[in-house]
Amino acid sequence: METIVAVSADPGDLENNCSQAITLGSSGVPVSVVHMSLSNEPVQVQAVIQPTQASVIQTAGSQNLQTIQVASVGSDGDSTGTEDDESKKRREILARRPSYRKILNELASDMPSTITVTKIEEESNGSQTSHDSQDMSDGTTNLTSHSIQYQAATVVPAQAIQIAAHGDGTGQGLQTLTMSNATQAPGSGATIVQYAQDGQFFIPVSSISAGNVQYQIAPTTLPQGVVMATAGSTITSPQQVTEEASRKRELRLLKNREAARECRRKKKEYVKCLENRVAVLENQNKTLIEELKSLKELYCQKEAQS
């Protein structure tokens, strides 16, 4: 019997590679993929691929898959790498499902080789851009504005954030924050970055061009006619009340926008995870059927002999 053992530091990666390998073959030699990371207990996933396709795993592997070793090889395998009432009624009818995080956690406890959820520390360097900093060195994105990061082999589209200081000699220069999404076509609406910090808010600059939206932070001075309500300040005039409400709404919309984006990303990840699991279980099922078949044959033979 040929057994392929895969060891990965990234369970998500292993899951992907496992399913990739599984989909390569329909029947043949059982392959065991053992996940050794995070928990001490290895997770065994049975799959079936053609012996001749074992080498394909090499090409299916990604950078995170550290080693693939072939053990107990029967053949010569050798591999490396891899609104209204109506609306109300409708909403009532639709039962809310648990969040994807919950489902993922359930899956993780049920089947540890699925995606893991890890907490990351919030950056606290106090710099102006700390909440929006992203690591784009390896194609992955650290969304530090959220306290939870899903570590998986998914690649988040690269985004670029630029902050430029315009000095005016007085030390009170405006800061311009620009965020452009490299994956979006010009004119399709770039991601708008607004971030309220210490009572500051962003004043949109009227230069929207080529998919870039610019906002200016007014740290100390404001243009004429612009009223900025900071935390702790007393609001007296109706105009100020309106401004404050508008500011709050903008902030809420911004947060919800980002939350929706994150939610969709998680949903996609979740679906991917389920698809992988289906592939694994289908192949497991296939293996068991084959095993049952051979055992039946063996039994019949012995029956005939006796």
Partner DNA sequence: CCTAGCCAGCGTCATCGATT
Partner DNA sequence: AATCGATGACGCTGGCTAGG
Q: What is the DSSP letter of 212?
A: B
> Is residue 188 part of the contact set for DNA (CB under 7 A)?
yes
Beta strands in the chain (DSSP E): 3-7, 29-35, 43-49, 67-71, 116-119, 148-151, 159-165, 175-181, 202-204, 213-217
**Considering only residues 278-297, where is the footprint of DNA by CB under 7 A?**
none
11, 114 Cβ separation under 8 angstroms? yes
Closest separation between CB of residue 147 and DNA, Å? 8
How far is residue 306's CA from residue 297's CA, in Å, rounded to a whole number?
14
Give the residue with the Cβ less far from DNA, 20 or 191: 191
Residue type, 35: H
* Rounded least distance, CB 179 to DNA, Å: 10
* Residue 27, helix vs strand vs coil: coil
Minimum distance from residue 182 beta carbon to DNA (Å): 11
Of residues 139 through 168, those in contact with DNA by CB under 7 A are 146, 148, 157
- Contact flags string 248-277 toward DNA, x per CB under 7 A: -----xxxxx-xxxxxx-xxx---------
Residue 119 binds DNA, judged by CB under 7 A: no
In terms of Cα–Cα distance, which of 123, 185, 152, 137 is closest to 64?
152
Q: Does 74 bind DNA (CB under 7 A)?
A: no
> Parallel, antiparallel, or unpaired for β 213-217 and 67-71?
unpaired
Beta 116-119 vs 148-151: how paired, if at all?
antiparallel
Q: Which of residues 227-246 bind DNA (CB under 7 A)?
A: none
* 1, 40, 76, 83: residue in contact with DNA (rule CB under 7 A): 83
- Taking the complex as a whole, the smallest distance from the CB of residue 132 to DNA amounts, in Å, to 15
Q: Kindly state the smallest distance separating residue 161's Cβ from DNA, in Å.
A: 14
Residue 117 as a binder of DNA (CB under 7 A): the answer is no
Q: How far apart are CA 148 and CA 58, in angstroms?
A: 32
Binding map of DNA across residues 211-230, x = CB under 7 A, - = no contact: --------------------
Selected range binding DNA among 8-16, 20-28, 84-92, 128-136, rule: CB under 7 A: 84-92
Contacts of 36 (CB under 8 A, 6+ apart): 7, 42
Measured distance CA(270)–CA(115) in Å, rounded: 8
Nearer to DNA, 270 or 283 (CB): 270
Amino acid in the structure at residue 252: R
The reply to whether 94 sits near DNA by the rule CB under 7 A is yes
User: What type of residue sits at position 116?
Assistant: T
Stretch that binds DNA, among 93-101, 135-143, 214-222, 239-247 (CB under 7 A): 93-101
Among the residue ranges 19-27, 61-69, 185-193, 198-206, the one whose residues contact DNA (CB under 7 A): 185-193
**Is there binding between residue 89 and DNA (CB under 7 A)?**
no
Q: Note whether 104 and 115 are within 8 A (CB).
A: yes
Residue 180 near residue 160, CB atoms below 8 Å: yes
* β 148-151/175-181 pair status: unpaired
- Establish if 131 lies at the interface with DNA (CB under 7 A): no
> Which residues are at the interface with DNA (CB under 7 A)?
83, 87-88, 90-91, 94, 96-97, 99-102, 146, 148, 157, 185, 187-189, 191-192, 253-257, 259-264, 266-268
